[in-house]
Amino acid sequence: MRADDAWCAVLELAASQHGSFHRRQAAERQLSNRRLARAVANGELRAGPPGVFTLSSTTSGWKPRLMVASLAGGAASHRAAAALHGLDGIRPGVLDVSVPREVQGWFPGCRVHHWSYTDEADIVLVDGIRTTSVARTLVQLGRVVSAATVEQALDSALRYGHRLEDIEAVLRRLWRPGPTGAGVLRAVLESSDRSAAVPDSWFESVLFKLLRNHTTLEPVLQHEVATATGTTRRLDLAFPDVKLGVEAHSRAFHFGASKGNRDMDRHLELAAAGWQIIYVTWAMTRSPDELVASIASSYHARLTRTAS
């Protein structure tokens, strides 16, 4: 292969890897170490951790930074992995990376965690970046965020189809005393507040816990109602004994003309089936005592009406 062809092949590779590549990958494409050194000297490349090079034109976004750590033998983990997996409650911010203890080097913009060993089954590729699996991420996440955020991430993982049995299996395998995060996930899973049903959103989970913790009421998550039109409508939370439903009314799922029309059709179908629906906005949860009292009042009013 000609030198120009090898250089072009490496450039194409870097473009598919957020602007970076490893010396080993360059050698596989027959690019010489001399050409690499010349590219660094003339400003075409930036040398990073041992063996990793980045195109000088590459911007310093969060994924390029994680890619550098990935190529060096590390993996995006903790908050960075949760963000890559799209778990709720985590946004790209602190870029956690876990690297073997023998890996040396500086990872700009990243918070480095060292580990002695990890099973390759715990590593997946997300957008080309070596990343801890969803289960391993959840086990480690409590090391750097609150239990509430771990639970939020867990609920979203279950909602996306990840199996609770798999998460629990990884937790058992990685369990050990100390500040590993595993204890936080274990406490979340064993909490008496959790329900067998998985909330469809974090908003619903907040409402569920408010009602469970501040009243003697027992709401049902994701209750299905058969309507006269033959359709089945699902309620976020429900008290089937009095046909009272509670809906988490967020802008993400209930905003816009077409969505508003669908919500109205749904509301009319439920009303025709004898259901009363209470719509709750996120702002209303800032006054939890008033919100809970209002829902409890509606419940008892319908209970009295049903009894009479």
Count how many Cα atoms sit within 13 Å of the Cα of residue 85 in the half-sphere of its side chain: 32
96 vs 265, more confident? 96
Residues sharing a CB contact under 8 Å with residue 218, sequence separation 6 or more, in sequence order = 212, 239
Count how many Cα atoms sit within 13 Å of the Cα of residue 95 in the half-sphere of its side chain: 18
Spatial separation of the C-alpha atoms in residues 263 and 211, rounded to whole Å: 24
Share of the chain above pLDDT 70, in %: 91
Which of 32, 30, 103 has the alpha carbon at shortest distance from 70? 103
Is the pLDDT assigned to residue 74 strictly greater than 80?
A: yes
Count the Cβ atoms, other than its own, within 10 Å of residue 146. 12
Partners of 47 in the β-ladder: 53
Spatial separation of the C-alpha atoms in residues 210 and 285, rounded to whole Å: 9
Q: What is the mean pLDDT of residues 146-159?
A: 91
Is the pLDDT assigned to residue 261 strictly greater than 70?
A: no
The pLDDT tens digits of the residues spanning 2-55 come to 668 899 999 999 999 999 999 999 999 999 999 999 999 999 999 988 899 999
Partners of 272 in the β-ladder: none
Is the pLDDT assigned to residue 246 strictly greater than 50?
A: yes
CB 52 within 8 A of CB 20: yes
Spatial separation of the C-alpha atoms in residues 226 and 228, rounded to whole Å: 7
Alpha-helix residue ranges (DSSP H) falling in the chain? 3-16, 23-28, 33-41, 62-71, 78-85, 134-141, 147-159, 164-174, 182-190, 202-214, 257-272, 288-307
Count how many Cα atoms sit within 13 Å of the Cα of residue 210 in the half-sphere of its side chain: 24
Domain ranges for the chain: 3-58, 63-190, 202-307
Q: What topology is assigned to 202-307 in CATH?
A: Endonuclease; Chain A (3.40.960)
pTM: 0.72
The CATH class, in words, for 3-58 is mainly alpha
Shared fold status for 3-58 and 202-307: no
CB 112 within 8 A of CB 101: no
